[in-house]
Amino acid sequence: MAKTKTKFFCTECGYEAPKWFGKCPGCQSWNSMVEETETVIKTQGMNSPLFHSKEKPLSIINIESGKEPRIQTGIAELNRVLGGGLVPGSLVLVGGDPGIGKSTLLLQASNRLAQNGIRVLYISGEESVRQTKLRADRLGALSPELFVLCETNLESIEEAIENVQPGFVVIDSIQTVYLPEVTSAPGSVSQVRECTARFMRLAKVKGIATVLVGHVTKEGAIAGPRMLEHMVDCVLYFEGERHHTYRLLRAVKNRFGSTNEIGIFEMGEDGLREVGNPSELFLSERPLGVAGSTVVASMEGTRPVLVELQALISTTHFPSPRRMGTGVDHHRMNLIIAVLEKRMGMYLQTQDAYLNVAGGVKLDEPAVDLAIAVSIASSFRDIPTKPYDVIFGEVGLTGEVRAVSRAEQRVREAEKLGFKRVLMPEKSLKGWKHPKGIQIIGVNTVADALAVALD
């Protein structure tokens, strides 16, 4: 007979324990242990055919190396984030807030693949077949090679995959799928771990590109055990404010490409639309001739993006001034304020400082330091910056401006959008041909940059 055991699992890292802990011994998270009942059923174990492999160890010098073929999804922004397209047999995990557009993106990608002759199986555990059809009608995702199934039993899903023989499978979502052999509820740590392992084995053995949709916690991380992200080949996050029309797709793990790329979409009535020129989108509502507003050239992977930085400096009435930054590193902001106080003589100890990246973009590279410094100084002195200036560069603690990578691409993007002048590190001027349609000014210190930008 089957034996029933009670175990405790950590919802953050998947740590397993025979008794409850207030603090997880694995990841040190408080109140993350949940109780689950497991029924142990005797199976064939290691004698099962699934565990047998005819592959033999090979010397690495005898293995033929070749470029892995990729499947083009028909959506350029999605291909960019994936590293050039879907790899056959890969397992991709997509997470994001509820209602952000995960299902819409995957249904559109499924339709493009089906139109290219690839058989697609879209499995929904949260919507019925008719509800999926209503969304497909709105998106125009109607292709004879696109098959839809409403099922949550993993064994039935495997049977459907065997019958349809698809080249691309979408599971929406992994938290709704359950394995009958595991007695815990769908969405529990045991179910998510076991179902993901089965999908991973299925993708590798049959060479099917599989995408799993994952729910996220209130902190924004993908729900379930942390090992879920270790098991898959690629982890994508779909971000954006629900009250804004644009969406950002980021890769936080990618075994087949870079994790620095982003894909930008705009949500409309007929689904998600690719944004080919994100700089123009982020600068569309920029006010001209306003103190505290600057444009910075940031790199998102291989793509230069021009974004507006806004700073507001106001006198505080409290003993401790407030420092608030949205879209930038809070500690980096405090560091630049300290440099301005020490090296430039700006008395900011009695001033509240607010910094915002317009459009909700997150900038985490050091090249935005100089633009932050100029924005804060512009607001503090109430002197507007030039409306057609682009600024970038890293700022050191002694007030020097350090070189940054890919300066040529940043300048080319600024020239393409009609900007007249670029303030950048002087050490980044060497080694490339300067365009003639834009003025380039190299600076060595923050004082030099402020003298040019706020003259």
**Structural tokens at position 397:** 């603690």
- CA atoms of 287 and 294, how far apart (whole Å): 10
- CA atoms of 62 and 314, how far apart (whole Å): 67
Judge whether 383 is annotated as a binding position: no
Judge whether 376 is annotated as a binding position: no
Judge whether 103 is annotated as a binding position: yes
Taking Cα atoms as reference points, which of 452, 451, 445, 387 lies closest to residue 414?
387
Judge whether 98 is annotated as a binding position: yes
**All residues at 6 or more sequence positions from 261 whose CB lies less than 8 Å from its CB, including other chains:** 80, 81, 83, 251, 300, 301, 302, 303
Taking Cα atoms as reference points, which of 292, 263, 258, 208 lies closest to residue 96?
263
What's the one-letter identity of residue 215? Answer: H
Judge whether 100 is annotated as a binding position: yes
**Structural tokens at position 216:** 């996220």
Q: What is the DSSP letter of 437?
A: T
Judge whether 99 is annotated as a binding position: yes
Indicate if the alpha-carbon torsion angle 302, 85, 125, 4 is positive or negative. Answer: negative
**Structural tokens at position 203:** 């993708």
Contact (CB, 8 A) for 357 and 307: yes
Please classify residue 304 by burial: count the beta carbons closer than 10 Å to its beta carbon, then call 0-12 exposed, 13-18 middle and 19+ buried. buried
Helices (H) and strands (E) in the chain, counts: 11, 21
Through-space distance between the first and last CA atoms of the chain, rounded to whole angstroms? 84
Which residues are annotated binding-site positions for ATP?
96-103
Which residues are annotated binding-site positions?
96-103
